Structure 1
Amino acid sequence: MTAPPPLAQVIGDPIAQSKSPLIHRFWLEKLGLPGDYTAEHVTADGVAEYLEASRTQPGWAGCNVTMPHKQSIIPLLDALDPVAEKLGAVNTVVRSENGSLTGYNTDAGGFLEPLSEELANNHLFRMARIIGTGGAARAIIANLADQGFTLVVAGRDPAKARRLLDELAPHGEHHAIDISHFSDPTDFAFDDREGCMDLIVNASPLGMTGNAPLPFDLTHAPPRSIVYDIVTSPVETPLLKNARRAGFRTIGGLSMLIGQADIAFEKFYGERPPRDCDPALMELLSQ
């Protein structure tokens, strides 16, 4: 009997805004591969039932995992990749031939991909101001610490931000603060940033369609900062618009989304995606 074509999905609550189906279907079509990728609305109470039904579904290859399930899904899996285990967050689940489910975290690689050229340079100092303490923030905190950044993590609960730093970046003089610190203008005189790398990262859902705005005043961004917003809906967030007007370099959430999807696509379908088609994919996702 012919095996059914592979099916992968993305689960979350909400999920209607997800652009992952567009990305994976675009790559499947470009490569001429059989298979599909769909979005499934799964609530917190329905994750266990979803996984049990899916692991026996013919052709089901796995799923991507978005808010709010990146941590709560872990006890329901059979195994964790070392990176996912270290980060304590899963955004990709892959089913093996025997039906077991392994959790991975591709957020880390996806986040760093658009920074790779800059990170290849030597810097006198690296600092990142990170807003958010959720599942995506965990990967960002751990990986930027590994890249030699001093971190300032801002959240509604500074104690949670401190716990994340102690867990994921125990070495270095990192700081945890209340998110309100960044909401009001500052007249702080930044020192000369020549030879330094400064990042401003929104790793929270603030600024996303349907969510509260992000309270960040750009006077907190040192000169020559790179402003990186992982939100993908809208594609052009208020933070990115304002940062670009102010002359900062910017990176949007689509860059991270495509980077992490690249890793997941190969796990689901067994082939690398056609990254030479990125400009056309970006145009599609921006519509």
Structure 2
Amino acid sequence: MTSPYAEVIGDPIAQSKSPAIHSFWLERLGLSGRYGRCHVTQGDLSRYLHERRSDAAWRGCNVTMPHKQEVMPLLDSVDSVAKRIGAVNTVVRTSDGALTGYNTDAPGFLEPLGGRRFETVTLIGAGGAARAVLAALADAGTAWVSIQNRSLDKAEALLSEFGLKGSAVPLGASVPQADLLVNTSALGMTGQPALPPLLNHVAADGVVYDIVTSPLHTVLLQDAAERGLTVVDGLAMLIGQADHAFARFFGMRPPRHEDAELRRRILGGSGV
């Protein structure tokens, strides 16, 4: 019998660290299975799911940019959390070939923040990842969110949809001083344009959080660390959301007590 497998899909995808995370957990748990990556363009998304649906060894996939919203109408069902967020980052195949969508980004985002509540937040971007972050912030009782995005109408619609008070402003605009700055856009990612200066509007005891994972130490995080701000990198969120996806794919919770070793392996370049 072919061993079970899962993968991550996106465009681009070569930079994804998800295979390193899931492969580490499979190894540590001694499970038969594998986790890879698959480059899927927007035009190929429907064909990809159709082919995988008939593969009994395929347990599902994680979904990254730009497919988190486009994948939803192609699935048989979407769970309530993903429906509320309006984006799917995990697709699971059942034994009869049905495909169900989930979103593990919201708990993955909150995990490294350790339960801290933020009154004022600046958010960069308004895509699928931003939706998960906004849902998490709304549930946490955040008082004000400034969304910086090219499309102000899209940003304003998100604030209204998640019941958040705030403002929609162009990228780099002056905003209220933030306790938390989050970059959910592709800006600053390898091969993408850089972010404009943003740190002058972050409180001295604030947190700067960049979900980009390639590079892991983005210019934004480097500048924030030099200013003495607390920083959270994209790997922290990636590991947190992968925890929930791994359990759905392989039927066991991963060994989170080995997170430090997992990070060392990834940062050392092994398996990435």
Q: TM-score range by the shorter chain?
A: over 0.9
Distance 1:39 1:72 in 2: 19
Q: Secondary structure at the match of 1:118?
A: coil
2:205 maps to amino acid: R
Q: Does 1:242 align with 2:223?
A: yes
How far apart are residue 158 of structure 1 and its match? 1.2
The 5-angstrom pairing of residues 35-74 of structure 1 reads 35-74=33-72
The structure whose Rg is larger is 1
Distance 1:14 1:72 in 2: 15
Among 2, 5, 8, the alignment partner of 1:7 is: 5
Q: Secondary structure at the match of 1:180?
A: coil
How far apart are residue 174 of structure 1 and its match? 1.6
1:246 maps to amino acid: R
How far apart are residue 97 of structure 1 and its match? 1.2
Distance 2:159 2:119 in 1: 16
1:110-133 deviation per Cα after TM superposition (whole angstroms, max 9, x unaligned): 0000012424xxxxx611110011
Q: Secondary structure at the match of 2:141?
A: coil
1:214-242 deviation per Cα after TM superposition (whole angstroms, max 9, x unaligned): 11331111221111010001110011110
Which portions of structure 1, spanning 4 or more consecutive aligned residues, are displaced by more than 2 angstroms? 116-119
Distance 2:72 2:146 in 1: 27
How far apart are residue 4 of structure 1 and its match? 2.6
Distance 2:225 2:101 in 1: 36
Among 232, 242, 245, the alignment partner of 1:264 is: 245
Among 135, 139, 144, the alignment partner of 1:146 is: 139
1:46-79 deviation per Cα after TM superposition (whole angstroms, max 9, x unaligned): 0111101101113100000001000011110000
Among 148, 162, 173, the alignment partner of 2:156 is: 162
2:167 maps to amino acid: H
The 5-angstrom pairing of residues 1-287 of structure 1 reads 3-119=1-117, 126-149=119-142, 150-167=144-161, 169-170=162-163, 172-181=164-173, 198-287=179-268
Identity %: 52
2:202 maps to amino acid: A
Give the conservation status (yes or no) of the 8 Å contact 1:145–1:151. no
How far apart are residue 154 of structure 1 and its match? 0.8
Q: TM-score, normalised by structure 1?
A: 0.90
Gaps of 5+ in 2: none
Q: TM-score, normalised by structure 2?
A: 0.95
Aligned residues: 267
